[in-house]
Amino acid sequence: MVQTRLNAQSRAELPDGYAAGVPVREPAERLGGHRETVRAPARHAGLAPRNGPELPQHMRDEAVAPYASGLSLLKVGRQLGIGDETVRAEVLASGGTLRPRGRHTVVA
């Protein structure tokens, strides 16, 4: 595995994005590194580790509404670039309920 070395500017910017709630996957992909490449500078800056998937409030709202209108967890996740389990967690955290799994037939 190749180790990604960050320049001083990137190391300085990562903790700000981490503190603002930017998913660690985004800068990791942009920089061509691992998620730990993003977490380490944040940890060195004294920021607390995140407990699970933390999304900014606007993304939480965007995850819940489409599911409530009938889209699947997977489709909502793909639209937002997050995992279906993250969508599931946000639906439940907002007080929503999950539909049964599988395809559903509409009775007219």
Asked: is 53-108 a CATH 1.10.10 domain? The reply is yes
Indicate the pTM of the whole model.
0.49
pLDDT tens digits, 12-36: 788 888 788 778 778 878 877 777 8
Taking the C-alpha atoms of residue 106 and residue 108, their distance in angstroms, rounded to an integer, is 6
* Structure-block tokens of residue 10: 């990137």
Q: Are 42 and 71 in contact (CB under 8 A)?
A: no
Q: How many CA atoms lie within 13 A of 54 on its CB side?
A: 12
106 pLDDT above the threshold of 70: no
What is the model's pLDDT at position 73? 93
What is the model's pLDDT at position 108? 56
Kindly report the length of the chain: 108
Domain spans of the chain, in order of start: 8-44, 53-108
Taking the C-alpha atoms of residue 46 and residue 106, their distance in angstroms, rounded to an integer, is 53
pLDDT tens digits, 33-64: 777 877 888 888 887 776 655 678 888 888 89
